[in-house]
Structure 1
Amino acid sequence: MSHPLHDVLTRWKDAFDHHRPDVMAELFTPDALFQGFGPVPTVGRESVRSYYAAVAPDRRADVTVLHTYALGESVAGGFADVTFSDPAGWEAKVHLSLVLRRDENDWKIRQYHVSRTAPED
């Protein structure tokens, strides 16, 4: 059985690459803490949906899982390197950390935080 982080990030990447902000929001818990590129952390699915709706639809994400962990049967998480890019050559490399919580039989993102690894060009 693979770690839940792999499954969640596979679904996250698919929704991101196909610019589906509603699907993205459903990957998060209703009370998720979210820190994207913006300077202020936000809370909740609606803020996640709004954030991803504002992302250019031609952007893609390349994800490499670096580390996973589990705390009991209902909490897991880990770290990944993500490179966001677009066809014009824009690129942003980040570290992504996630905390996941199992809600019934599905894993959801409870906490999401990115930090840039290099300045934006």
Structure 2
Amino acid sequence: MSTTTDDTAVLRGVLDPWKAAVDAHDPLRVAALFTEDAIFQGLHPYSVGRKGIAEYYDSQPPGMTAEFEILETRRLADDLVLGYLDTEFAFTDRPPLGVKLAVLVRRTADGWSIAHYQVSRLD
């Protein structure tokens, strides 16, 4: 495994608040964790920017929660960390959904933010 403690801490610094905002069904708080020009690919057509991200999470059912495990990290540059995760979204009315999640987080003047988000279903 090629995961460093520093890179894991960078990812957790963004993904722990992402999880908390998803669990709270707070789409604006989720979107605020992304860069203004973030490329976002959930399980619907992709969007670019915070508006599309907020709309995506607003469309998710109340009670949906997220759990994740960081599997791999790569430091691509001083200000870029790539993460590959096992992620499970749980629902109140149906079985959980397991996906792979790849994120690219970028350091900006305001701190670390998600610049790219890509979900993949492997089934």
Q: TM-score, normalised by structure 2?
A: 0.89
In structure 1, runs of 5+ residues without a counterpart are: none
Read off the aligned partner of 1:84 and give its amino acid letter. Answer: F
Partner of 2:83: 78
In structure 2, runs of 5+ residues without a counterpart are: none
Cα offset, 1:91, TM superposition: 1.4
Partner of 1:36: 42
Alignment partner of 1:56: what SS? Answer: coil
State the number of aligned residues. Answer: 117
What are the superposed Cα offsets for residues 66-107 of structure 1, whole Å, 9 maximum, x if unpaired? Answer: 011112221111100111111234211100000111012510
CA RMSD of superposed structures (Å): 1.3
Q: Equivalents in 1 of 2:16, 2:6: separation in Å? A: 12
Identity level (%): 35
Partner of 1:16: 22
Read off the aligned partner of 1:103 and give its amino acid letter. Answer: T
- Once the two structures are superposed, the pairs formed by residues 61-72 of structure 1 within 5 Å of their partners are 61-72=66-77
Alignment partner of 1:81: what SS? Answer: strand
Q: TM-score, normalised by structure 1?
A: 0.90
Alignment partner of 2:63: what SS? Answer: coil
